Structure 1
């Protein structure tokens, strides 16, 4: 039976996901057979698993860090917020219904927890080490009795726990003390030590606090991780969307149910983007409508708030418009949705020659495609799809040539006069395409062409893990795990 190490935080946003990612790569580099696990994740930022089901993007990244194929077993329960205190429940990659927060807590949660623990047992049997990510804080008084993602998981797995805190926010020592005081004695015994994350300054100045924690709890500070600029995706629950205007003014509509915002990270680095939520803000050279967990509701939100009219006005004035997944569906002529929003036929924005019909079955696949859009015609790109909609277009954006490695020829997306739409999440991570896309628009706006720096998630994981490893007492963690 393998060992288990769990990363919990003093709050949401403490850095659990990325610390888990770094530890996955550190232990993999040491030669251990390691996998990630999170019993329940709430996120709109999802990705397809090797089984074809849907999983959290955080555990997808952690699987890559472990050098494993992303599996729904690493994230058995995924909650996708729908608004109005409701979420879609995805179990082992497949949607099993939509429930209110209260109904989920009182009815489904316990049954799903027991099933998730069977999955965790299986992972422990098959691997040397399971690195488990917690959720939020382990001691929220109103939630602790319903916990299925923190100390209850640690106790079930016999996991040693590292408690991480975001020192950049301030109040880290108080947060650790408060967390430790609210844990039971049995739970405190599981804590191996503390990690202070996102530190800027002289770590020696923290020593009096470390001495206090060790004296009070007999637990050491295991490391101080410096604030690191990186290109690894953050969790969407607390991400701070930038408002950075580049030479080419790219604006992204921040939809209420916006999903898969990681699609646009390469644009952040190559040009800068400006996220907008109001009609009067829309003045860009390029306007992008992103993916959505609830396409029709977000389309109606844009319509009611004047954003649709503002996009059409910007389009008339020469702006280029792009839609990805849900955004592509909105830009078509009409949507028929009897499954997600159940609103039936809805008029689209009308900038693309496409019509979309929603189906009960969600497609979650890795894709390879050949672009048909003029400025990038003939380019091969990769991405993934997570969608219930099926769209027909008079002028497709690309031809899918491979679905999960199996050859096919299937048109997707649409091309308009000065608008394009595609189902390919992650298309901008194809850096040659991104360079071609940006330079086409830069030339139109009288700007000199640019070269887009290529980088890979693999390289970013390795660089980040190296920084964490240099500032963490890995030997002490190994000793605590008996490895």
Structure 2
């Protein structure tokens, strides 16, 4: 199989971003390229055109590769429901929830077969694969049941490039320690240093040391690029991005749920020059913002109870009518009068739970079957009728929907009234036109200029060019030729 696998010395070293760049570079060269990650753990999923769930990073990488995202690109998706149990999504469909030990003991054979099937299907339809590992390949307690790193490299028979994050410190120890502990270290053919800041000439002796000590080439040192505007899968990533403009005049506070999911709905606001994003871990972090967002959650009732204990009910009552309160998916559900999940389909059993009650008469009932669908509709905001598109992914059924936000061909959805906005549609704020209409009254009230329309450009090209400029792409192509 022609391709390469990107593994990392730990989580959040930038594996997904490197894979995204490689997908675009290979696509630019005329290759038919597909991303692949055997097993992903994330509550930020991507919905394919067929209404199937895969990891968000593989959906984004498919876009970078200029191809349609398919379930074979991420055959196993684990969506954590709590600290011990995850929902298993197999080839885009919910299988069942399992704890770690049960998954390890009972699912390994089934998972391995799924990976082999997916790789075989992709090999038939693409000339190159860009494969992403997970976490670290040097987790010695997990290697006998590996479904994500060296076992996958063996199945695909591809070389591995090891990525390390220099920003977090300890880059030499992390690389050398990984090479000492990883099974089949001979499959690793090169090293990439990611997120470098400062004068790269000062790191020349570091490169020389690594190459002499490990016997592997350092294929590149990639400088940190803060405004790449490519969706993040890890919540740590978006928190770091949000720090860039935390003093801008329009203040958005986002409630950071314990079971936060689909936080990527917030990312489009980073494109706005006058918007700051602050994550609230507690009521004390909220203050009086211009916009308060309750984002998605993997366990609505569990997170609702968390915020009730914090005193968010009273805080919302004091803020409503004066600021915008936005509920997205699970956050929208929290704004209902009542919620019911007697079977625990959403993760927490509740015969009857009081919501925050900001949407009068709204009741949420959770069902076993998950609603997963891409949707396109229209909405009117600040007198402007705009098209919106995105996807819904939830098991909630809504009773009563006065003041709907979105008009679909087959009915209405969401809520918009008295500065309260709620919807199940992920990707609503991706629309620059809708975002502009939403922010315009706040800008006028604050005496801020209305910015020109956001210039649309291909963010993948910019990131890919940045990566290619700072690596030895010729050596990478040699590795691809050897696979």
Classify the TM-score, shorter chain.
over 0.9
- Aligned partner of 2:451 in structure 1 is 451
> What residue in structure 2 maps to residue 199 of structure 1?
196
3-state SS in 1 of match to 2:257? coil
Using the alignment, how far apart are the partners of 2:282 and 2:33 within structure 1? 45
Who is 1:171 aligned against? Answer: 170
Shift of 1:237: 5.1
Distance apart, 1:36 and its partner CA:
0.3
SS of the equivalent of 2:320 reads helix
Is 1:396 matched with 2:404?
A: yes
**SS of residue matched to 1:98:** strand
Partner residue of 1:405? Answer: none
- Cα deviations by residue, 1:98-136 (Å, 9 ceiling, x for unpaired): 111222122213321221222112212321111100001
Q: What CA deviation, in whole Å up to 9, does each residue of 1:429-455 have, x standing for no partner?
A: 111111111112333x44334226525
DSSP-derived class of the 1:142 partner: coil
Contact 2:259 2:298 in 1 (8 A): yes
Matched, 1:235 2:239: no
Aligned equivalents of 2:235 and 2:152: distance in 1? 22
Shift of 1:304: 1.5
Write the deviation string for residues 142-176 of structure 1: whole angstroms up to 9, x where unpaired: 22222210011101111110001111222212211
Residue pair 2:12, 2:234 contacting (<8 A) in 1 also: no
Cα distance in structure 2, aligned partners of 1:125 and 1:38: 17
Which residue does 2:299 correspond to in 1?
294
Describe the superposition over 1:222-266 as per-residue Cα deviations: whole angstroms up to 9, x where unpaired.
Answer: 111111121112222533524625322221111111111111112
Aligned to 2:262: 260
The Cα shift of 1:313 comes to 1.5
SS in 2 for 1:224: strand
Instruction: Determine if contact 2:39/2:75 at 8 Å carries over to the other structure.
Output: yes
Cα displacement string for residues 329-382 of structure 1 (whole angstroms, at most 9, x for unaligned residues)? 11122222242123132222111243222222212222111114x425522111
* Residue of structure 2 equivalent to 1:31: 30
Match of 2:277 in 1: 273
Q: Aligned pair 1:323/2:330, yes or no?
A: no
8 Å contact kept, 1:33–1:127? yes
* TM-aligned CA deviation for residue 207 of structure 1: 3.0
- Match of 1:379, SS? strand
Tell me the residue number matched to 1:142: 141
1:255 partner SS: coil
2 CA distance for matches of 1:309 and 1:216?
A: 60
For residues 129 and 280 of structure 1, the distance between their equivalents in structure 2, rounded to whole angstroms, comes to 50
Partners of 1:59 and 1:415 in 2: CA distance: 33
Contact 2:325–2:420 (CA under 8 A) maintained in structure 1 = yes
1:427 deviates by 1.1
Q: 2:206 corresponds to which residue?
A: 209
The question of whether the paired residues in 2 share the 8 Å contact of 1:165 and 1:195 is answered with yes
1:303 aligns with 2:302: no
State the shift of 1:18 in Å.
Answer: 0.1
Q: Structure 2: how far apart are the matches of 1:240 and 1:371?
A: 27
Q: Is the 8 A contact 1:280 1:310 kept in 2?
A: no
- Secondary structure, in 3 states, of the residue corresponding to 2:253? strand
Distance 1:212 1:92, change over 3 A: same
TM-score (norm 1): 0.93
- Unmatched runs of 5 consecutive residues or more in structure 2: none
* C-alpha contact (below 8 Å) 1:434/1:452 kept by paired residues: no
Identify the residue that residue 403 of structure 1 maps to in structure 2.
none
Deviation for aligned residue 1:4: 2.4
Residue 157 (str. 1) matches residue 159 (str. 2): no
1:49-448 to 2 correspondences below 5 Å: 49-184=48-183, 187-229=184-226, 230-236=228-234, 238-239=236-237, 241=239, 242=242, 244-270=246-272, 271-282=275-286, 283-315=288-320, 318-338=322-342, 339-340=345-346, 341-353=348-360, 354-372=362-380, 374-391=381-398, 392-400=400-408, 408-443=409-444, 445-448=445-448
> SS at 1:176's partner residue?
helix
Equivalent residues of 1:33, 1:128 under 8 A apart: yes
Query: Distance between the aligned counterparts of 1:150 and 1:237, measured in 2?
Result: 22
Q: Indicate the SS of the match to 1:249.
A: strand
CA RMSD after TM alignment: 1.8
Q: Is the 8 A contact 2:111 2:147 kept in 1?
A: no
C-alpha distance in 2 between matches for 1:266 and 1:84: 29
Q: Structure 1 residues 357 and 9 mapped into 2: Cα distance closer, same or farther (>3 Å)?
A: same
Distance 2:204 2:281 in 1: 44
